[in-house]
Amino acid sequence: MNMKTTADRATGGFFLLFGVLLYFVIIPKYVEVADGAWLMPSTVPNAIAVVLSICGALLMLKPTAHRVQNTREMMFAGLYFTLLAAGLLLMSYVGFVYAAPVLALAVMLLIGERRPFWLLLGVVGLPAGIWWLVAYVLERALP
Amino acid sequence: MVDLATILAGFADAFTLWNLLFVLFGVVVGQFVGAVPGIGPVMAMAIAIPFTFGLDPLPAIAFLVGVNKGGLVGGAVPAVLMNTPGTPDAAATAMDGYPLARDGKPLKATKMALFSSVTGDTFSDLVLITVSAPLAVLALRMGPVEVFALMIFAFAVLSGLIGNSLIKGVIAAALGLLCAMIGSDPENYTPRLLFGYWELFDGLPLASVAIGMLAISEILRRLSQIQGEMKGAIEVRDTGDPNDRRVTWAEYWACRFTMLRGAVIGTILGALPGIGSTAAAFMSYATAKSTSKEPETFGKGNLHGIAAAESANSAVVGSNLIPLLTLGIPGSVGAALIISAFMIHGIQPGPLLFQDQGRLIYGLFGAMIMANILNLWVGQAGLRFWVKVVSAPESIIFASALLLCIVGVSMATGGIFGVAVMLIFAGLGYLMTSYGYSVVIFIISFFLGPRFEVSLSQSLALMNGDWTQIVNYPIALILFVLAAVTTAWFLSRRTPEDPGASVSIED
Amino acid sequence: MKFGLKLAGALAGAVLALASAVNAEEWKPSGTLKLQIGFGAGGSTDTIGRVIAKVMKDQTGWNIIAENKTGGGGVAMFTGISKMPPRGTVIGLGVNMPIMVNLVKRGDQLPFDLNSFDYLGTASRAQLALIARADAPFNTLAEMVEHSKENDGLAIGFGAPPQKLLMEVVNREADAGFRFVSTKGEAETQKLLLGGQVMAGFSSGTHIKYLESGDFKMIAVANDARHDYSPETPTVRESGYGAYVDPYYFFATTAGTDPAALAALTQALDNAINSDEVAKVIQNAAVSNPLNLGPEGTKKMMFDGVENVKVLFGE
């Protein structure tokens, strides 16, 4: 068996460390000890930590032939993720009505949409439609 | 027992034009709202409840039943057409529905979902109407120890979904369970793994995790694969073969045993409060796959896969009303919302309901049957509409799906915090899929987790912490044995891959 | 004595509300008034909150939205409210017990204390009862303790921490040996009772139908006063144990809100709570009657309640 770095070895190592971290650091710090319980608050989480570590170690020893998709796709996914996060941050400050058109425009431009009709529909029609439905018809609060 | 005159009067009430209109209105609203990404069936009901305040009890509840049943059919639409299920039970439908839709047969896929959903639903409605009383007694016999055994059995069935690596399947399940631990522990209600965010005290919001993991992460994947070329989000290919646009009777009839099995699984699990449609859908799917002569065609657009998932998750809805109507115990969030509607109208579900409100209950049964028929009728038209909508350019479809998921999750969880959680789980879901960890196993484990831990705690309390007392619970013992046999059987049917092969990370 | 104080509080609240009625009419919320509900859709708190929001909207003409903010029985919602600027545009509806339990148990971790809020009133008091199946071999709490001692313990279903704390007091004082089975609420507790998996359990109203049908019987009342539908059942305190649980549905907003706004909100809530429509829903959902202690009475109830919770914890 060769010991090349594979995707599975990397994630296996991650889960091995994560399990150890859970067991020795995170669970003792963020789970309370109850006085008198059939099942302690930490029992099941600790069991999970042990399982994660063991499986992580096993995966390092016996990785599968899993292939990760190409870097370009991963980077684009990360880009869209960041865009969404920024959109949400904006929304939490200025509200849906102002943030939604900006977010819609950014997403559509990044996809590559340049046709004015569809852009207009996404930037004006879509947020307006959602506003009309949620705030006006259903009388619910928009984010 | 309710006399025949009351039963007939109840059914007659249901078939008045006024009440039928409310059922129809409910079905239309349910199918439409349920199909919108990010909103889904339960949210559709929560939105609909305030509108029933001013109505008489029967039209109000008939309307909600319509929304509930319509929402169920609608919920399968984004799962099949875009692979973005809003609820975990629809994720089972997506496994075979989406490949079929991607092959240019979206109408065939959604119609199969519609037909099997209505079939499963009707089956469990008939069980509810005819034998709900004895079934309720049976459900009472299923105490915490039996439910714990049933949870173990459900996890065992999950092993039928594990793909190429057993280890990675276990890791995905453990991660789902870990996320279910966030919130409070079931016995002492101490805050657990909150990291200072008291908003998480009730656990991670279900809608955020489900929509983030299943819908948003898939949208991220699809967005990242777009290469600048503008095309429709789904293409309806005109092959000239009309059978690609419909489900033939022969195809439907070939799935009869799959649907019957799904309906039975869904009805049984629905009658037990707190297990839910997710377990039912996947248990039915895993069983259908394992008993099939050609298991390798599952996940590639096999109609049996759609039939198994939809018949089971729809059957849960009817039988969820068994504990609700006979005992006053809601079996799911949807059922809890119906209880809320009952109470607002001054009706207390429970042991005396059939005596006090016999006419109303049989009116409700009549409305349920009508809702099934209307679902079929409205669905035929509705599905064409949705396939048309999803044929619009990807840019507008994905932008609207993202905005709608944000708004839907914000409404369901009460603010932007839930949306942030959704985004985090979208990232996690994307990474897990990229590295070959099953998101579906994660999400089922996450949904089963709380009930698993509660019933473990309850069992320990009842047995005084002594596992040898399990011999006093024969049903639980049988389930444990079944779980072991199932796991062994599923694992033996897996096709293990060549362990020598290992590939380095591609760049 | 206790009841007298509460009555005085309610009267004081009413007088205050009347006195500021003139002033109150001048104030109205800028924009939408949010009524946040600390529990999920479908429960009794949710039902009560939604109908009060609707009636208030009808009566005042203000634009009022009811929304659910779940998390820790209201802790998450009140965390949010305590951090808001006091503009009088958000009201929280919660239940006192979970807030108090968390304040006593982990007050140092919570971002708020009782002084972080201005109290507006209460909607009702939940009537919490200890019940058993009609064929159980005991009828009173004393007999239940005896039965438990003779049979190596007895399983009790509970759906919230205060119920367990109350029975732990009995365990401490009488060495009863009760075993506690945690459930996800009173519906599940009742299922376990009917199925015979637990011998006793807690319920705050939905058991009344079962009393009528002859499936359940009352063992004791967990509140400080007996319930009007079953006046012969003694309270846990009357049975000789020094603790009680009095869950109230109460309204509060951020501390430091403009007095004119407080007066207007208090008045609007009081009008809604005293309407027939709300009374009907409270009777259906919580099997109780509307009871508004008023701002001062509510504040007193909260501060006194924390002392009582310390008793439950044996502190």
Whether chain A has a CB inside 8 Å of the CB on B495: the answer is no
Number of H helices, E strands in chain A: 7, 0
> What was the pLDDT predicted at B506?
32
Cβ atoms within 10 Å of C314's Cβ, excluding its own? 11
Q: CB distance C42–B199 less than 8 Å?
A: no
Based on the fold, state whether residues C13 and C121 are members of the same structural domain. yes
Domain of A51, in residue numbers? 7-61
Whether chain A has a CB inside 8 Å of the CB on B224: the answer is yes
Q: How confident is the model at residue C13 (pLDDT cuts 50, 70, 90)?
A: low
Q: CB distance B339–C195 less than 8 Å?
A: no
Residue C108 domain-assigned (yes or no) = yes
Based on the fold, state whether residues C9 and C106 are members of the same structural domain. yes
Residue C103 domain-assigned (yes or no) = yes
Q: How confident is the model at residue A23 (pLDDT cuts 50, 70, 90)?
A: very high
Whether chain A has a CB inside 8 Å of the CB on C5: the answer is no
State how far the Cα of B306 lies from the Cα of B110, in Å rounded to an integer: 9
Residue C102 domain-assigned (yes or no) = yes
Q: Which residues pair with C154 in a beta bridge?
A: C178
Tell me the C-alpha to C-alpha distance, in Å, between residue C226 and each of C4, C221, C229, C302. 15, 6, 9, 20
Residue whose pair of structure tokens reads 């896969």 in the numeric block: B305
Which pLDDT tens digits describe chain B residue by residue (507 residues)? 567 888 899 899 888 999 999 999 999 999 988 888 888 777 788 778 777 777 888 999 889 989 989 988 898 999 999 998 878 888 999 999 999 998 889 999 999 999 999 999 999 999 999 888 777 777 788 889 998 998 898 888 877 777 778 899 999 999 999 999 999 898 888 889 999 888 888 889 888 999 999 999 999 999 998 876 777 777 776 666 777 788 889 999 999 999 999 999 999 888 887 677 888 999 899 889 888 888 888 889 999 999 999 999 999 988 888 888 877 777 777 787 787 788 777 777 777 788 788 889 899 999 999 999 999 999 988 998 998 888 889 899 999 999 999 998 988 887 889 999 999 999 999 999 999 999 988 988 998 898 899 999 999 999 988 899 999 999 999 999 999 998 888 877 765 544 433 333 333
Looking only at the bridges linking them, the beta strands covering C64-68 and C33-37 are parallel
Q: What is the pLDDT of residues C208-218, one digit of tens each?
A: 888 888 999 99
Distance (Å) from the C-alpha of residue C202 to the closest C-alpha of chain B? Answer: 15
Instruction: List CB contacts of B477: < 8 A, sequence separation 6 or more.
Output: B149, B470, B471
Residue B242 domain-assigned (yes or no) = no
Residue A21 domain-assigned (yes or no) = yes
Residue A93 domain-assigned (yes or no) = yes
> Structure tokens of B165?
């690596």
Q: Which chain A residues contact residue B406 at CB under 8 A?
A: 88, 91, 96, 143
Q: CB distance B191–C106 less than 8 Å?
A: yes
Whether chain C has a CB inside 8 Å of the CB on A35: the answer is no
* For testing contact with chain C, the best of A38, A39, A137 (most C CBs within 10 A): A38
Q: Which chain A residues contact residue C34 at CB under 8 A?
A: 141
Across chain A, which distance is largest between two alpha carbons, in Å? Answer: 66
Based on the fold, state whether residues A133 and A76 are members of the same structural domain. yes
Residue C233 domain-assigned (yes or no) = no
Residue C89 domain-assigned (yes or no) = yes
Residue B25 domain-assigned (yes or no) = yes
Distance (Å) from the C-alpha of residue A79 to the closest C-alpha of chain B? Answer: 9
The angle, 0 to 180 degrees and rounded to 10, between the axes of the packed helices B4-14 and B57-82 is: 60
State how far the Cα of B278 lies from the Cα of B332, in Å rounded to an integer: 11
> What was the pLDDT predicted at B43?
79
Residue B502 domain-assigned (yes or no) = no
State how far the Cα of B330 lies from the Cα of B272, in Å rounded to an integer: 10
Q: CB distance B170–A55 less than 8 Å?
A: yes
> What was the pLDDT predicted at A12?
94
How would you classify residue C224: left for phi > 0, otherwise alpha for psi between -120 and 50, otherwise beta?
A: alpha
Q: CB distance C76–B202 less than 8 Å?
A: yes
State how far the Cα of B11 lies from the Cα of B19, in Å rounded to an integer: 11
> Domains in chain B: how many in total?
1
Phi, psi (deg, nearest 5) at residue B175? -65, -45
Domain of C255, in residue numbers? 2-126+247-312
Q: Is the dihedral of CA B489, B494, B498, B500 positive or negative?
A: negative
Q: CB distance A6–B398 less than 8 Å?
A: no
Q: Which chain A residues contact residue C67 at CB under 8 A?
A: 140-141
Q: What is the pLDDT of residues C214-237, one digit of tens each?
A: 999 999 999 988 998 899 999 999
DSSP state of C135: T
Tell me the C-alpha to C-alpha distance, in Å, between residue A85 and each of A71, A107, A112, B106, B256. 21, 12, 20, 32, 46
Residue B233 domain-assigned (yes or no) = no
Chains in contact with B via at least 3 Cβ–Cβ pairs below 8 Å: A, C
Which one of A63, A138, A142 has the shortest CB-CB distance to B47? A138
> What was the pLDDT predicted at C11?
53
- Residue A61 pLDDT exceeds 70: yes
Which one of C36, C43, C75 has the shortest CB-CB distance to B198? C75
> What was the pLDDT predicted at C22?
47
DSSP state of C33: E
Q: What is the pLDDT of residues C101-141, one digit of tens each?
A: 999 988 888 889 999 999 999 999 988 999 999 999 999 99
Q: CB distance B400–A113 less than 8 Å?
A: no
Residue C228 domain-assigned (yes or no) = no
- Residue C17 pLDDT exceeds 70: no
Q: CB distance C41–B333 less than 8 Å?
A: yes
Which ipTM score applies to this complex?
Answer: 0.94
Whether chain A has a CB inside 8 Å of the CB on B494: the answer is no
> Domains in chain C: how many in total?
2
Residue whose pair of structure tokens reads 């994630």 in the numeric block: A11
Based on the fold, state whether residues C189 and C79 are members of the same structural domain. no
Side-chain-side CA neighbours of C7 within 13 Å: the count stands at 4
Q: What is the pLDDT of residues B443-456, one digit of tens each?
A: 889 988 988 999 99
Cβ atoms within 10 Å of C306's Cβ, excluding its own? 17
Residue C232 domain-assigned (yes or no) = no
CATH number at C194 reads 3.40.190.10
**Radius of gyration from C-alpha coordinates of chain C:** 20
Based on the fold, state whether residues C169 and C303 are members of the same structural domain. no
Based on the fold, state whether residues A92 and A113 are members of the same structural domain. yes
Based on the fold, state whether residues A133 and A77 are members of the same structural domain. yes
Q: CB distance A69–B434 less than 8 Å?
A: yes
Q: How confident is the model at residue C42 (pLDDT cuts 50, 70, 90)?
A: low
Based on the fold, state whether residues A29 and A75 are members of the same structural domain. no
Torsion of CA B140, B145, B147, B149, to 10 degrees: -140
- Residue A110 pLDDT exceeds 60: yes
Distance (Å) from the C-alpha of residue A112 to the closest C-alpha of chain B? Answer: 5
Residue whose pair of structure tokens reads 């879509």 in the numeric block: A126
State how far the Cα of B234 lies from the Cα of B222, in Å rounded to an integer: 12
- What is the 3-class SS of C145-193, one letter each residue? HHHHHHCCCEEEEECCHHHHHHHHHHHHHHCCCEEEEECCCHHHHHHHH
> Structure tokens of A68?
């990760």
Based on the fold, state whether residues A38 and A75 are members of the same structural domain. no
Q: Are C109 and C140 in contact (CB under 8 A)?
A: no
Residues 104 through 143 of chain A touching chain C, CB cutoff 8 Å: 139-141
Looking only at the bridges linking them, the beta strands covering C90-95 and C129-133 are unpaired
Tell me the C-alpha to C-alpha distance, in Å, between residue C3 and each of A48, C7, C8, C75, C301. 50, 6, 9, 27, 11
Whether chain A has a CB inside 8 Å of the CB on C41: the answer is no
Whether chain A has a CB inside 8 Å of the CB on C34: the answer is yes
How would you classify residue B195: left for phi > 0, otherwise alpha for psi between -120 and 50, otherwise beta?
A: left
> What was the pLDDT predicted at C144?
96
- Under 8 Å CB pairs connecting chains A and C tally to 7
Q: Are C38 and C77 in contact (CB under 8 A)?
A: yes
Residue A57 domain-assigned (yes or no) = yes
Based on the fold, state whether residues C175 and C283 are members of the same structural domain. no
Which one of C42, C195, C198 has the shortest CB-CB distance to B141? C195
Domain of B314, in residue numbers? 4-228+248-493
> Domains in chain A: how many in total?
2
> What was the pLDDT predicted at B1?
55
Q: Are B219 and B401 in contact (CB under 8 A)?
A: yes
Based on the fold, state whether residues A55 and A33 are members of the same structural domain. yes
Instruction: List CB contacts of A21: < 8 A, sequence separation 6 or more.
Output: none
Based on the fold, state whether residues A41 and A11 are members of the same structural domain. yes
Residue B466 domain-assigned (yes or no) = yes
DSSP string covering B354-407: HHHHHHHHHHHHHHHHHHHHHHHHHHHHHHHHHHHHHTSBHHHHHHHHHHHHHH
Based on the fold, state whether residues A97 and A116 are members of the same structural domain. yes
Q: How confident is the model at residue C3 (pLDDT cuts 50, 70, 90)?
A: very low
Of the two residues B226 and C156, the one the predictor is more confident about is C156
The angle, 0 to 180 degrees and rounded to 10, between the axes of the packed helices B303-327 and B57-82 is: 160
Instruction: Tell which residue, C106, C81, C235, has the closest CA to residue C161.
Output: C106
Based on the fold, state whether residues C297 and C212 are members of the same structural domain. no
Q: CB distance A4–B499 less than 8 Å?
A: no
> What was the pLDDT predicted at C25?
58
State how far the Cα of A13 lies from the Cα of A53, in Å rounded to an integer: 9
Residue A142 domain-assigned (yes or no) = no
Residue A1 domain-assigned (yes or no) = no
Residue A2 domain-assigned (yes or no) = no
> What was the pLDDT predicted at B505?
33
**Residue that terminates a domain, selected from A20, A43, A61:** A61
Residue B451 domain-assigned (yes or no) = yes
> Structure tokens of C7?
């009555």
> What was the pLDDT predicted at C131?
96
CATH number at C94 reads 3.40.190.150
- What is the 3-class SS of C251-293, one letter each residue? EEEECCCCHHHHHHHHHHHHHHHCCHHHHHHHHHHCCCCECCC
